[in-house]
Every structure is written in structure tokens, then in C-alpha cells.
Amino acid sequence: MRTTLDPKVALVTGASSGIGRATALALSKAGATVAVGGRRTERLTALAQEAPGEMLVLDMDVSDPESVRKAVDTTVERFGTLDIVVNNAGVMLTGPVLGADPTEWTRMVETNLLGSMYTVHSALPHLLRSHGTVVQISSTSGRVSSVGAAVYSATKFGINAFTEALRQEVTEQGVRVVVVEPGFVSTELADHITDPAGRAVAKSMAESMRTLQPEDIAAAVVYAVTQPDHVAVNEILVRPTDQSR
Ligand code: NDP
């Protein structure tokens, strides 16, 4: 049966959990062939077994430009093209600026910001050929900065800035670029916070509202990438109804 995204080829970074995992599954259900990247490859292998369509597992560390280049090359060698890239891999190591461990800042910048730039850099020649789509998973923190999220927000503001320039560079060549900005989504993201106050804030936020589920963001991505070629959805902000900021 021919489905909406058949025969498109998608690459999703950070697909071993949360939003990336749900997005990879949703794209597969919509008919795409999906390459899934991340460091926990055993989880990716389990995901590939669950997917309705073909899935290629990629051992990929987005903070390493060589690893990114290999992942993109492997995808194109295997499937002959690349139509959709979902730059999703990210870490959120929140906490106050005073007393922060700067190695956590480096990790956030290298993963969230440089990682998505490396992926765009490697994928762009292929996307120009296929008239493909770049999906950048940013955040409400890419629009509003708040206490405890200075560096995380800086990476997401950076993604939004990079993405708008990229959009202007490539849209007339037929490559569509979309920023997706989720509010609070129930995932493993906050489990990695080392600052006790930062963890407590995330926990109390989760308990105070009906949070989004990863599938809610996956649905937004599928919406953006299934538009007709002449329609470029450039920005999607999705908050839980119960989240005011
Ligand atoms: P998860 O922690 O569930 O998923 C994060 C994913 O990123 C994992 O699959 C992880 O895979 C991957 N990842 C982390 N570091 C690297 C790396 N160096 N190389 C490759 N992959 C990496 O969190 P979410 O699903 O919530 O987060 C996904 C994206 O959504 C992030 O960019 C996040 O900032 C954004 N977001 C999340 C929100 C939320 O409330 N949850 C709100 C707004 C935005 P592995 O460890 O296997 O490498």
C-alpha cells in the first residue's frame, strides 16, 4: 500500500527515547524509510523491530562531526537519497549560572547546537538534490529564557537563529526548513539534570500539569513534512494547554 511518505527517506537523531523515538515511529507509520541515530544502539535496534517499515540503526554521536558525516553517508549509501532530517538529539542540564559545572555547558552546546549544525552541514547537499525538509527540534526555551535555563536556552535560541538563516539560504532551492518548539513533554530529558534544584523544578512542573506526550510532537513533525511541496510550514510551537509560559 502506498502511504503519504512512501518512498521518502528520513534521518532522525536522538531516536533512542522520547520525542525522537516517537517521531521515528510516526514517520515509519506514515510510510517513510527511517534511519535512526543515537549512542544507545541497543534501544535503536529494539525500535527498529517495532517499526512497521524498514529502519536503519546508526551508532551516531551528534557532538562528533565525523560520526555525523558517517551516519549521513551510510543512510544515503543504503537508500540512495535523503529527504527528511529531524535534528532532535539534545540534553537539558539546567541549573543556575553561579556554581555551574562548565563541562555541562560544553555538552549542551556541542549536542544541541553544534550537533544540529553538523547534521545540517552533512545532509544539505543531499537535501538540495531531493528538495527535502529539515526539521529542527528547538523548544519554548528558544523563545523565552528563564531562571536556571540560561545555557539550555542559549542553545535553543541559537538553533532558532541558525535555522532562520538556513531557511533564507535554501528555501528558493526547494528545501523546506521548520522549527518545532515543544513545551513540557514527558520524556527522560530531565532525568539527566545533576543540579538538585533544577531537577526539583522539572519534577514539580511535570506534576503541576497535563504534560505533552512525545507522540504529540511527532504528530506536529508529520504535519509539517506531509504538506504539498509548495507549502513550507516554518515554525510550530506546541505547549501543554496547562503551561502558561
Ligand atoms: P530524551 O532524553 O528522551 O531524548 C534525548 C535523545 O537525544 C536521546 O535519544 C539521546 O540518545 C539523544 N542524544 C543525547 N546526546 C546525544 C549525542 N551526543 N548524540 C546523539 N544522540 C544524543 O529527551 P526528549 O525526547 O525530551 O528530547 C528530544 C529533544 O526535544 C531535545 O532536543 C530537547 O531539547 C527537545 N525538547 C524537549 C522538551 C521536553 O519537555 N521533553 C521540550 C522542548 C524541547 P542517546 O543517549 O542514545 O545518544
Do residues 78 and 110 make contact, with C-beta atoms less than 8 angstroms apart? no
Active site residue 152: yes
Q: Whose CA is nearest to atom 39 of ligand 1?
A: 185
- Helical ranges in 102-149 per DSSP H: 102-108, 115-130
Q: State the pLDDT at residue 159.
A: 98
pLDDT, one tens digit per residue, over 172-224 is 999 999 999 999 999 999 999 999 988 999 999 999 999 999 999 999 999 99
Q: What is the pLDDT of residues 131-179, one digit of tens each?
A: 999 999 999 999 999 999 999 999 999 999 999 999 999 999 999 999 9
Q: Which of 152, 157, 162, 184 is catalytic?
A: 152
Query: Domains in the chain and their CATH numbers?
Result: 9-235 (3.40.50.720)
Average pLDDT of the chain? Answer: 97
Q: Please give the grid coordinates belonging to residue 206.
A: 511535570
**Predicted pLDDT at 1:** 45
Pocket of ligand 1 (CB under 6 A): 13-20, 38-40, 60-63, 88-92, 111-112, 137, 139, 182, 184-185, 187-189
Say yes or no to pLDDT of 2 above 60: no
Distance 35 CA to ligand 1 centre (A): 16
How many helices and strands, by DSSP H and E, does the chain display?
8, 7
Task: Evaluate if residue 3 carries a pLDDT over 80.
Answer: no
Closest CA to 145 of 208, 88, 84, 97: 97
State pLDDT tens for residues 71-103.
999 999 999 999 999 999 999 999 999 999 999
**Cα distance from N-terminal residue to C-terminal residue, the chain:** 43
Q: How confident is the model at residue 245 (pLDDT cuts 50, 70, 90)?
A: confident
Ligand 1 center–CA 14 separation, angstroms: 6
